[in-house]
Structure 1
Amino acid sequence: MHAIEFRNVSFRYEEDQPYVLRNVSFQVETGEWLAIIGHNGSGKSTIAKLMNGLLFPSEGEIFINGIPLTEENIWEIRSQVGMVFQNPDNQFVGTTVRDDVAFGLENRGVPRTEMMERITSSLEQVRMHDYLLHEPYRLSGGQKQRVAIAGVLAISPRVIILDEATAMLDPLGRKEILDTVHRVQAEQQIGLITITHDLNEVMQAERVLVMNNGEVWMTTVPRELVKKQTELQQIGLDVPFVSQLAHALQKLGVPLTEEPIDHEELLDTLWTLHSRK
């Protein structure tokens, strides 16, 4: 049973408008980290909203842990799929960090004793428990996103979706958020879906779904993706700097036998080549 499965899903906002998604099929496995990338307008965020039941397919079916997504079971589905958006300010409803994390639990009628345990646990997981009584709007961008993630973790989801959740952060904040989510994902075997246009972020995922003009262009792994520089540029995607540098070195005659997916791999390869001389 897949954590999430799309079967021939198409979507359009109005009957007389063109389809935003066309015949999209893919699966997300339990505990897997899947990155979804594509140029603006390729359908990435629409997929995220469909997974969470904020939208429903015009055609096709969506299954969450084997359960078909319908309007009748939407609240059950949303308890299993948590979403963190690009701007955390749009998610805050409480006057303190504690109140904000409690909001989703109160809506689900979680008993107070259990609620307090979940609030403490989720904030500790993202290292924000010391900010329990702080006002969310006074936090830094990275801290706000960690609180938003804690609010999602508190409802014990099976899958977390980050919809461009690191786009507004600086490189350090982006790394902190990804490290936090990846650590929690590994500890709890939660499925993780990152929707992004940043290929450097994608290199950390286990698998990559590439969208182009509302269709699945490719499903692959990061190491294979970086080999397709020309094709990625043709569909409007940037290539990671490490890949660009590796290709430039190859053109200069440096014998790189494998595509590096991050700067550490590239440095290790160059050091190994230097040591052989």
Structure 2
Amino acid sequence: MRESFIEFRNVSFRYGEEQPWVLKDVSFVIYPDEWVAIIGHNGSGKSTIAKLINGLLFPQEGEIFVDGVHVNQDSIWDVRKNVGMVFQNPDNQFVGTTVRDDVAFGLENRGIPRQEMIDRINTSLTAVAMNDYFLHEPHRLSGGQKQRVAIASILAISPKVVILDEATAMLDPKGKLEIMRTITEVQDKLDLALVTITHDLNEITLADRVIVMNEGQVWLEATPREVFTKKEELRRIGLDTPFISKLADELISIGLVFNNHPLSHEELLEELWTYHSKM
């Protein structure tokens, strides 16, 4: 049986004894090298999951394991060696005066030898296509560039899983596209698990698996293509489907027949070409 990397066992969490439960009896697993998108409307509990994985919060009920280690007060520093997090606002993560200094910060805290540190800085910035910006001041970068530097800073410490918590929420469409392309390339190149937390269904199409949260519970676990077959149910829980999916539905309603329901522009063009070739 395949061994899990992250495991939630009947986890419940609330932010105070008088507060409602944010998570209620949540169980799931995430495997090594897997890209899992966790989606849900605001308040569904998805960002709380990210903080629980990294030991920023601890559940009142249930257990969480990361790489076989039980996440608790005694183990959080061991857990955080394997878990890297990128948040919504990259400015909150910058501590260096240059891009190079910022990526070096986490390595210095871990006592990494100088030559290895230089190699890791070069490798991580190259992985996110920011190797030409070593001496740039982070606050002068575009939103997408800032987020790529934040990702590089996490990659430099060689985590086994990277969590992106609404990492594209503050970006314009071009910036979102840049980051999603970067995420895809990093996932292809590096041996790590990837967890993306989002409410934007446009960002889940490339994931291996999707966990849909609703009112603090796991509402659905499925592939992206399977998720998009439940359009009406998704709308009822506050999630809207991407434009491409809606366009494909309209085309199907007027008589076009597709082999697979397209999830991207490329897939839609391929389906239209195939349909046209059969005419």
In the TM superposition, residue 257 of structure 1 has moved relative to its aligned partner by 4.2
Partner SS state of residue 238, structure 1: coil
Deviations 1:166-213 (A, max 9, x none): 112222221221222221222222101111111111111110000000
Counterparts of 1:46-65 in structure 2, within 5 Å, are 46-65=48-67
1:67-126 residue CA offsets vs partner (Å, 9 max, x unmatched): 111111111111101000111001011111111111111222222222222112211211
- Partner residue, 2:101: 99
Structure 1 distance, partners of 2:68, 2:240, is 35
Give the partner amino acid of 2:35: W
Residue of structure 1 equivalent to 2:168:
166
Find 1:20's aligned residue among 19, 22, 36: 22
Listed as ranges, the matches of 1:135-214 within 5 Å are 135-214=137-216
Q: What is the DSSP-based 3-state SS (H/G/I as helix, E as strand, rest coil) of the residue aligned with 1:130?
A: coil
Select 2:240's aligned residue among 232, 238, 241: 238
TM-score by length of structure 1 reads 0.97
Look up the SS of the partner of 1:275 in the other structure. Answer: helix
Alignment check: 8 A CA contact 1:31 1:186 kept: no
Pairwise CA distance, 1:50: 0.6
Instruction: Please identify, of 124-133 and 227-236, the stretch whose mean Cα deviation from structure 2 is larger.
Output: 124-133
The number of residue pairs the alignment matches comes to 277
- The answer as to 2:43 corresponding to 1:41 is yes
Q: CA RMSD in A?
A: 1.2
**Equivalent residue runs for 1:215-254 within 5 Å:** 215-254=217-256
- Which runs of structure 1 show a deviation greater than 4 angstroms over 4 or more consecutive aligned residues? none
What stretches of structure 1 of length at least 5 have no aligned partner? Answer: none
What is the CA–CA distance in structure 2 between the aligned matches of 1:180 and 1:262, rounded to whole Å? Answer: 17
Alignment partner, residue 117 of structure 1: 119
Of 136-145 and 174-183, deviating more is 174-183
**Equivalents in 2 of 1:256, 1:120: separation in Å?**
45
